[in-house]
Amino acid sequence: MVKNSYNPFETAQKQFDRAADMLELDQATRDLLRNPIREFHFSIPIRMDDSQMKVFRGFRVQHNDARGPAKGGLRFHPQETIDTVRALSMWMTWKTAVADIPLGGGKGGVICDPHNLSQIEQERLCRGWVRQVFKNIGPSVDVPAPDVMTNPQHMLWMLDEYETLRGEKLPGFITGKPVGMGGSLGRKEATGYGVIITVREALKELNISPSDTLASVQGFGNVSQYAIELYEQLGGKVVCVSSWNQEDQTSYSFRKKEGVDLKELRSVTNPFGGIDKQKVQELGYEVLPGEAWLEQEVDILIPAALENQITGDNAEKMSKRVKIIAEGANGPTTPDADKVINKRNIFIVPDFLANAGGVTCSYFEQVQSNMNYFWERDDVLSRLDVKMTAAFIAVSDFARSNKLNMRDAAYVISVNRVAQACKDRGWV
């Protein structure tokens, strides 16, 4: 018998069902919020550099827009599925709600591996994606952003195509653009910094100084790199980092017990966050199996790669020393793993709170683009700190007063806000 593979949308729905039960939501509200309000599937024909045509599958899912335009990233990934995009769009709805910003949740994807596409082919793919869906997205409808294996250049190509089709300048259509072309200072740091702002607040609650802690991080993309940067500024030490190796099609963990050197690691990392295994060994790092990041003797774990990484099968491998898990990635922890985490009383900062810094700063970029006035970096990051700290404290206070864990508290707050918006609009 074939074993069913992990389905992130089923996980997202289970998490929603739990919150809906706690809130005692009526059936109509459950039916509305349990599934996307609309979704688009389309084919994108692209002429490749060898003159052959190739057809890519693309998606855009708008989970809910009761609180404002849908907002969410666009992923280029060879294992992309519609259920992954559905799950991520739902998590984006809760993320914008828990951060209390006036946006809804959306997500997009293309099944492709940009490692195997030239720059020209990537540009054609970006423009092709926009052409297929431009009537259903826009500054007041649905605002895309970068996500896994997409970047500011991709966003700029998409903006240019959208403005060409619309015949007007609409920089607020998309976020994550290059600075100087409608992008916001501080955006590249925002998600990683936001994760560590929540870690800082969690450590305060636990009465632990950051300088007394060690951390292990999964992934070495944008989120991880800036999370490590701010964590080290607070005095913490990262001893292990994992990354995906494109050549071997597997992941490895890289450990240095005296602490990783961020600048050193960045010097041997490709634009997709892949650390060069041979070069990093020459720098004195131990090369361990991909899952070893989870097993390190550390106080803080930061999964910042993909979904379904801490599961019922491997959660018991976590060191007894672990006190905090801050989910930099979307959906990295399964419900089965949550049971282990809750039993061990590990303080979890759930994904849609921990990594809400990205969408918060995207919202700042959207505001700046729409009013054609841009803030200084320190202004952006100070506003980010205020928003993330306020969101964390609201969830933490609610969790404590209602005797809930942080994930349940965050879900109850965000689902309640969205459900109320739907009710106020007369949708349910």
What local confidence, expressed as pLDDT, does residue 298 receive?
97
pLDDT(271) > 90: no
pLDDT(269) > 60: yes
Among the ranges 148-152, 328-332, 335-339, 411-415, which has the highest mean pLDDT value? 411-415
Number of Cβ within 10 Å of residue 211's Cβ equals 9
pLDDT band at 377 (very low <50, low <70, confident <90, very high): very high
The average pLDDT across 129-155 equals 95
CA distances from 363 to 302, 394, 422 (A): 24, 20, 21
**Token pair recorded at residue 34:** 């349990």
Q: Return the exposure string of 165-200: e unless at least 16 CB atoms fall within 10 Å of the residue's CB, then b.
A: eeeeebbbbbbbbeeeebbbbbbbbbbbbbbbbbbb
Question: Comparing C-alpha atoms, which of 335, 85, 355, 346 is closest to residue 195?
Answer: 355
Active-site residue, from 107, 188, 237, 387: 107
**Token pair recorded at residue 295:** 């097993």
The average pLDDT across 372-380 equals 96
Q: Is 107 a catalytic residue?
A: yes
Does residue 201 contact residue 393 with C-beta atoms inside 8 Å? yes
Summary count for the chain: helices (H), strands (E): 14, 12
What local confidence, expressed as pLDDT, does residue 368 receive?
96
| Tens-place pLDDT, residues 46-105 | 999 999 999 999 999 999 999 999 999 999 999 999 999 999 999 999 999 999 999 999
pLDDT band at 1 (very low <50, low <70, confident <90, very high): very low
What local confidence, expressed as pLDDT, does residue 163 receive?
98
What local confidence, expressed as pLDDT, does residue 246 receive?
80
What local confidence, expressed as pLDDT, does residue 273 receive?
83
Phi, psi (deg, nearest 5) at residue 282:
-65, -20
Type and span of the H or E element at 156: helix 152-166
Number of Cβ within 10 Å of residue 160's Cβ equals 15
pLDDT band at 148 (very low <50, low <70, confident <90, very high): confident
| Tens-place pLDDT, residues 381-399 | 999 999 999 999 999 999 9
Measured CA to CA, the distance from residue 228 to residue 216 in angstroms comes to 10
Phi, psi (deg, nearest 5) at residue 300:
-130, 130
What local confidence, expressed as pLDDT, does residue 6 receive?
80
What local confidence, expressed as pLDDT, does residue 177 receive?
97
CA 419 to chain centre: 23
What local confidence, expressed as pLDDT, does residue 301 receive?
98
| Tens-place pLDDT, residues 304-351 | 988 889 999 999 999 999 999 999 998 899 989 999 999 999 999 999
Please state which of the ranges 71-75, 145-149, 203-207, 291-295 shows the lowest mean pLDDT.
145-149
Measured CA to CA, the distance from residue 304 to residue 333 in angstroms comes to 11
The average pLDDT across 257-278 equals 89
Does residue 58 contact residue 67 with C-beta atoms inside 8 Å? no
pLDDT(154) > 50: yes
The average pLDDT across 33-42 equals 98
What local confidence, expressed as pLDDT, does residue 4 receive?
56
Measured CA to CA, the distance from residue 39 to residue 75 in angstroms comes to 15
DSSP 390: H
Q: Return the exposure string of 9-41: e unless at least 16 CB atoms fall within 10 Å of the residue's CB, then b.
A: bebbbebbebbbebeebeeebbebbebbbebbe
Q: Domains, the chain, ranges and CATH? A: 34-172 (3.40.50.10860), 188-349 (3.40.50.720)
Question: Comparing C-alpha atoms, which of 7, 25, 16, 183 is closest to residue 91?
Answer: 16
pLDDT band at 248 (very low <50, low <70, confident <90, very high): confident
What local confidence, expressed as pLDDT, does residue 24 receive?
97
What local confidence, expressed as pLDDT, does residue 51 receive?
97
Measured CA to CA, the distance from residue 210 to residue 208 in angstroms comes to 6
- The bridge status of strand 142-146 relative to strand 237-245 is unpaired
pLDDT(3) > 70: no
Which residues, 6 or more positions from 261, have their beta carbon under 8 angstroms from its beta carbon? Answer: 283
Query: Environment class of residue 146 by beta-carbon count within 10 Å: exposed (0-12), middle (13-18) or buried (19+)?
Result: buried
Measured CA to CA, the distance from residue 245 to residue 95 in angstroms comes to 30
pLDDT band at 2 (very low <50, low <70, confident <90, very high): very low
The average pLDDT across 265-283 equals 88
Share of the chain above pLDDT 70, in %: 99
DSSP 344: T
Name the average pLDDT for the chain. Answer: 94
Question: Comparing C-alpha atoms, which of 261, 252, 256 is closest to residue 228?
Answer: 261
Measured CA to CA, the distance from residue 50 to residue 63 in angstroms comes to 38
